[in-house]
Each structure stands twice: as structure tokens, then as C-alpha cells.
Structure 1
Amino acid sequence: MIFPKDSLFAFVTLAVSLQTAASPILGSKRSRGISIPLRKRAGLQTDDGLFDLDKAVARMVETQNKHTQNLLNFQANTGSLPFEGAKINEFLSLDRILGLGDALERRQSEPLTDEHDIEWLGPITIGSNNQQFMIDFDTGSANLWVPSSTCTDSTCSRKHLYDANNSTTSKPQNGTFSTHYGDGSTAEGTLYTDSVTVAGITVHDQYFAAVHNLSRNFDSDPIDGIMGLAFPSLSSIGHDPFFTTANSQGAVQSNQFSFYLADQNSELYLGGTNSDHYTGDFENHDVAKGKGYWSLDDATVSANGEQVTTGAKTIIDSGTTIVYGPPDAVKELYGKVNGSGSYNDARGLFFYPCKTPPSFTFNWGGKEWEISADNLNLGAADNTGNNCVGSIAAQDIGLGDNVWLLGDTFMRNVYSTFDFDTNQIGFAELK
């Protein structure tokens, strides 16, 4: 089945609203919180519904670089690595990968640098004068950064820039910040504290970085920066991320946030859950302690009802597009599917028959949470439309033994809630 690109657009026009209800306890039908409108741009397909390998590889490079930096941050903060078998890979450059012989099909109409079209985006303001930014909300990292007014790169001319001089509450702080982009470049940033507001929730003296240079990869990307929602031990700034600060200052009703990711009406819900988007009770699971990530242990991964992997460690990452698993396990997963095969060995991508999509599920001791046919399909493998490229890829990102990274491909199938107080992730069925 081929899905037209336009069908994947989800521009959310929800007004920010307050919803009052019962106490914000994980698993309750409704709890008090604030809804943040999210919008999503197109997926990894060309206009004619073909899988876009160029964009997929660019996203893979960006994902590995993000988690390489996370591991470095975690090691610096704790003196160890979070998972057994974890290793710090070198930072990748997309240009270098292309030079190593990846047979990517170049398209003049869709430049290789135009890869940032998979984020879940929402607005925030910073400073006493409410400087506006469009932000990618990322459960797989823990830093807040935006471009600085001191940035002279051409990319910055198309972004909202943080001007510390225009905010009476801005304070420069000691320390530096750096981040690695998918093109191999590195950005340095200055640390500040200032007020930060998300959907009416304001925190004071929030640490963040204003970066001085911005990769060309962001030329056509609508985001200005990233807000990490993971645990402080993943931060390179060495201070609490926004939501942790919001809870410590009493700015939210509950130390809990939730995601509803869909083609329409997507939202990040701060301070509770929104039962408009889910049905039934939550299936709650304890987060693995001391890992920095929103990670769950003891997952079983199955194909068409047959177990392929048990005891898997899983990271729930809203800032990652697809699902990445250990190469041998993912190969075995597709091996259970009649008519499947390798689409690109170097990138660990597989295809399956579009008319008979497999059932891939994740289970943490309760329900089988299935990836729907729509969310499994990254696009047609060729012009015949007979085979589709699957959104579970075989990649060793360096996170550790039997660690799976569950991004958008998984999260779009569930309503997910993240609770710092109970140290749990909850999943509920979508309405």
C-alpha cells in the first residue's frame, strides 16, 4: 500500500486549554494538565509514495550522534555507561557515509540536507519579553537549546534567535554546551538562565544553551531548537531539564507528562493525562533506575505471534523517527515474514509485501502492543508498489546489549504517559 505524502501532514490548530478533573494519578481516566499543540511534517516518503532512503539515512546519522552524545553526558555525570555492552561510537558525518559508498538516490527536488521533517513541534517562549521559539519535544535527551542572536550562520537568519540583552531576567552562567549535528558539524553554546514558558507553564532561572552556530541541515527545518524531557543524568549542561524544574517550582499539577502522536490533534500534555485520546486503564511499567533514559526492561518482541527476542531493554524516544533494534534480532524478526528481504544491508533496512503486512508487537508482561500497518510502512520499495520498507531497522547505535530504541513508529500506536514521581511509563489504547 502506498501512502501519499500529504496524508501524513498533521498541522494541529488546537488552542492551549486547561482541563480540570480528578487527581493526576498514573492510570486515572482523566487528570488535570495543560495541552500543548503539536504539529508534524511529512514522513520518509517522496511525493509519489516511494521510500526516501536519503532522508532515512540522514535521520539515522542524527539519531546515532544524539545518543553518542547522551552516552558521553551520562558517563561524565555518573562515571559509567547506562547499559551493559554500551559503547561510545564516534560521531558520524553524513558526507563521510556517502563517501563510503551508500548508494543513495539523489533527488534535486528533495535535497539531502532537508532531513528534519519528522519532529513533533510546539511553541515555547523564553525571557521577560517572551521571545518565541518552535521546539522539538524529545523524551530521548535532556538539554534545552535554541539559536543565539550572536549566530552569524546563514541558517540562523531564518530562525528565531535568543537575545539575552532583551530579557531583563537573563543571566549568563559558567560552562559551555556543544551538540553534534547530522552533517558532522559541532555547535558551541553559551549557558544562560532565564524564564521559560510552555503553554502557560512558566519556570524561572531555567538553564539552557544559546548556540552560536547552526548546521545547514536546519535550513528547511521549522524547529529552532530542542527541549529534552529525559532525566538530568543525560544532560550536558549539568542542570535540571525544563519539566524537572517545573515540578520542583510547583508549576505543574503533576510530575507527569503524556504524548498523543497522530496525523491530527497531536499533543503533549503537561501535568497529567488527557482521556480525550485514550480508552481504558493504563498498563504501567517501572522505568529502569539510574539509566537517564525513559527505559523499560524485560520486553518481548514478536513477529506474527512468534517470540523473537525476550528480556529486551527498550528506550521510549519521541525524538527518534523509527525503531532501531540489534541487527541479529531485527534480521530474525523479518525472517519470520514470508516475502520479506533486505532493502539496504548497510543501513539495516528490510522490505515486506505491502498487501500482507506482518504483525510486530512489543510486550512488557501484559498486552501485546502492535505496530499498525500504517506505522510500519515507510513507503514503497520501488515503483511496482508490491513491497514496502519497514520502519524497524537493524542498527547498533552503541546503547548496549539487546537495547531497542522505540521512536515514532511505536509511540503512534499508544497513548503514552511518563511519570517522574512513580518512575513509570504507562501505555493506554487509543480511542
Structure 2
Amino acid sequence: MKWLVLLGLVAFSECIVKIPLTRVQIIRKTRSEKKMLNNFLKEHAYSLYLTSSPGSNITTHPLRNIQDMIYMGNITIGTPPQEFQVAFDTASADLWVPSVFCTSPTCASHVMFRHLESSTFRLIRKTFGIVYGSGRMKGVVGRDTVRIGDLVSIDQQFGLSMEQSGFEELPFDGVLGLSYPNMSFMGGIPIFDNLRNQGAISEPVFAFYLSKSKPEGSVVMFGGVDKSYYQGTLNWVPLIQARTWRVHMDRISMNRRTIACSGGCEALLDTGTSLIQGPRSLVNNTLRLIGATPRGSKHYISCSAVNTLPSIDFTINGINYPLPAQAYTIKDSRGNCYIGIREDSVSKSTEMWTLGDVFLRQYFSVYDRGNDRIGLAKAV
């Protein structure tokens, strides 16, 4: 994961919780309700048929789009609830927030978790560290009640940062990881798995709709899929391994000519990365074909020329996902346009691309843990 800012149980089959995530509502689920749900799911293999009726249990809170670079939403931790803004990240699996234990100056500019003010907090005497593309943190592990909208995860393991760097200019307080458990640096049960185990969601699936050029409208939904956020049908892509949200990509082309991923490569769908990232030589070749001019860490193009630039086609599982120039160019705070494609600073043994928000704004994405696959469709 890399931030490139300079970086209800009412109807079992339709329990969809959409979390655009700012305000928090709390529901309680009894043990008997959880047992009923677990029994139901064992007897009925879930079938994710992508509908949501007006009467379904849907909760929506706005996920904030910060200049098309970061999407973050509110969660609460503790009793009484303490509110935090977190980045929802499909490339990591841990939840952490700043804490009063933190000695780094950057923590003072964010909301810090005050463990002594929560009656349900438990400290686990275990430390951990995570290195991201834009920063790093070290922390200690604790447990408490975590709420994401209507979803309540009881006794959830999370990290309390003690040291962190590289997050000074980033607007969110912490990170909520949505990858597989094997990606956890804390070694515990991630929040999505905990919600699933506790019967808070009826289907092991979540999905993202990311708004374009406006702060409101973005949604992350848990437990099902609302088809009003995409056009046509969802195309399902199997994961390379049931360990990360990584799929096989056939090629990347422009004007019907392959420009990268020749012979196939890997692609990670990452909501925690702002841009599209790839190997240096292939990225540089793509930027040269577009006609972009380097300026600092970015490559710029005349805004008046954007409408004349070709689309870039990402072919995944035999299906083309075109990205028009209007989608892969971004206007900065000074009104200049740059290309939302950047070289990956970490070299890898195999060719891998990270399809971040530049791609995910164009394509609604569904993350299906029950079948270890990703669904993609044109976003509305």
C-alpha cells in the first residue's frame, strides 16, 4: 500500500451495509441472533446475486474524497466511542490509530486514542511495526470495540502507534486494512474476518465506489453489492492466491499496441494507493508515448491536450478495461495536469502493477472473500 499524496439481521440474504463512513450508528446483536445467522449460512451457500432492494438493511455514511488522492472514512473505537478518520486499504490487513503512547510529532496533529477513557479496552503486551510506501509506524497491540457505521466488532485487535513517520501531510489518522489475515503484521484476526465470524455481515464480501472530482459520494459497502453503483454486469476475476487482492493481468495496451505486461503480469487492486504504479522502464515508456514532461516526481501534460490523448487498456481475464485520458490525468492545486502513473520504488522479481484509485474510480470493485475473486464493472 502506498499513499502518493506527496505522497442488521433483518433479511439474511440482503444484509448490505454501505459505509461511506462518517456518522456512526450502533446496533447490538444478541448471541442467539448470531447463532441463527451462522446456522443459516452453513445451510445455505451464499450466492452474492448483486441486488439490493429498497427495503434491505443499508447504512450509508460519506467517505471523503480528498482531491482524488485519498479516500477516508470515520470509525469509532472504545466505550464511549472515540472517532477516527482512517484510510480503508485493500493492500494491508491491520487496523491502527495514533495513541497517547506516541512520541512522534506527527501524532500530535491527529486524533490520538486515549485508552484510559475506554471501559472496554484491553492492552496486549505485544509490539509490531509496519513499513508502507509513504511511511512507517511502530506500535503496541490492544483490543476494544470498533464500529464502522452499523457494524460492530467486539474485542477487536488493533494497533496503537507509539512511533510513526511519513504521515505528516496525510489527512487521515490511521489505516484500516481489508486484506487477508496472512498480511497482518500484528498476527491477529483482521476486522473484516472478525465481523464475519461474529455474524455482523451475511456475505463475506465488500465493495468500493470511489467518486470523481468531488468530496462526497464515495462508498465502501459490506455484506453485499448495490448494483446502482455500476453499469452492466460484474466481471469476476480469480485471485492468483487467496492471500492478497492480486490477479493475473493479460496486457496493457495503447492504440491496440501492447506497451507493458507483455505475456502477462500481476496486478494488485489497492484502494490505499492513489495512482497506478509499475516497473520503472515500462512506466517511463508509457509516459513517453503519452508525451508527458517530467517535473519533479510527476510527469505533466498540457491540460488542453488531455482530450486528444489515447486511452490505456488494461486487459484482465480476457476483458478490456479502458482508462480514458480524463481518468488517468489529474489536475493539481495550481491547475496543472499530470499523469496518474508512477514508477514503483520497490523492485520485484516479477512484473507487477498496482491499480490504485486512478483505475478504481473508473471501475467499481467487489472483493469476494467467500470465492477468492474480484468483481469489476464500469462505475456509474
Alignment TM class, shorter chain as reference? 0.7 to 0.9
In the other structure, the counterpart of 1:130 is 81
**2:362 is the alignment partner of 1:410:** no
- Counterpart CA distance in 2 for 1:236 and 1:42 is 30
Q: Name the CA shift for 1:314/1:196 in 2 (closer, same or farther; >3 Å).
A: same
In the other structure, the counterpart of 1:260 is 209
Q: Name the CA shift for 1:426/1:182 in 2 (closer, same or farther; >3 Å).
A: closer
In the other structure, the counterpart of 1:85 is none
For 1:30, which of 52, 55, 62 is the aligned residue? 52
Q: Deviations over 1:195-239 (max 9, x none)?
A: 111011011121111012343743x54311100111112111011
So what's the TM-score if we normalise by structure 1?
0.70
CA deviation after TM superposition for structure 1 residue 146, in Å = 0.5
CA deviation after TM superposition for structure 1 residue 429, in Å = 1.6
Root-mean-square deviation (Å): 3.0
Q: Name the CA shift for 1:132/1:397 in 2 (closer, same or farther; >3 Å).
A: same
Code of the residue aligned with 1:282 in structure 2: it is L
**2:153 is the alignment partner of 1:203:** yes
Q: Secondary structure at the match of 1:331?
A: helix
**2:327 is the alignment partner of 1:302:** no
CA deviation after TM superposition for structure 1 residue 343, in Å = 1.4
Identity over aligned residues, as a percent? 28
In the other structure, the counterpart of 2:36 is none
Whether the 8 Å contact between 1:277 and 1:430 is mirrored in structure 2 is yes
Q: Deviations over 1:348-386 (max 9, x none)?
A: 847474341221011113432122322211338x99x7x
For 1:215, which of 150, 154, 165 is the aligned residue? 165
Q: Name the CA shift for 1:135/1:159 in 2 (closer, same or farther; >3 Å).
A: same
Q: Name the CA shift for 1:327/1:126 in 2 (closer, same or farther; >3 Å).
A: same
The structure where strand makes up a greater share of residues is: 2
CA deviation after TM superposition for structure 1 residue 300, in Å = 1.6
Uncovered stretches (5+) of structure 2, i.e. residues with no partner = 1-19, 27-44
CA deviation after TM superposition for structure 1 residue 327, in Å = 2.2
Whether the 8 Å contact between 1:361 and 1:370 is mirrored in structure 2 is yes
Whether the 8 Å contact between 1:257 and 1:419 is mirrored in structure 2 is yes
Code of the residue aligned with 1:203 in structure 2: it is S
Q: Deviations over 1:183-203 (max 9, x none)?
A: 76x532111111111011011
Code of the residue aligned with 1:289 in structure 2: it is Q
- Counterpart CA distance in 2 for 1:413 and 1:351 is 20
User: Bigger CA drift: 259-268 or 33-42?
Assistant: 33-42
Whether the 8 Å contact between 1:36 and 1:269 is mirrored in structure 2 is no
For 1:426, which of 365, 369, 375 is the aligned residue? 375
Matches within 5 A, 1:66-105: none
Whether the 8 Å contact between 2:195 and 2:201 is mirrored in structure 1 is yes
Q: Name the CA shift for 1:139/1:358 in 2 (closer, same or farther; >3 Å).
A: same
So what's the TM-score if we normalise by structure 2?
0.78
User: Bigger CA drift: 270-279 or 347-356?
Assistant: 347-356
- Counterpart CA distance in 2 for 1:132 and 1:405 is 30
Whether the 8 Å contact between 1:16 and 1:35 is mirrored in structure 2 is no
Matches within 5 A, 1:6-405: 25-26=47-48, 28-30=50-52, 34-43=59-68, 118-180=69-131, 186-215=136-165, 217-218=167-168, 220-262=169-211, 263=214, 264-290=216-242, 292-308=243-259, 309-310=261-262, 311-337=264-290, 340-343=291-294, 347=297, 349=299, 351=301, 353-379=305-331, 388-405=337-354
- Counterpart CA distance in 2 for 1:409 and 1:332 is 19
Q: Name the CA shift for 1:216/1:42 in 2 (closer, same or farther; >3 Å).
A: same
- Counterpart CA distance in 2 for 1:341 and 1:295 is 29
- Counterpart CA distance in 1 for 2:49 and 2:359 is 20
Code of the residue aligned with 2:77 in structure 1: it is I
Whether the 8 Å contact between 1:348 and 1:394 is mirrored in structure 2 is no
Q: Name the CA shift for 1:195/1:17 in 2 (closer, same or farther; >3 Å).
A: closer
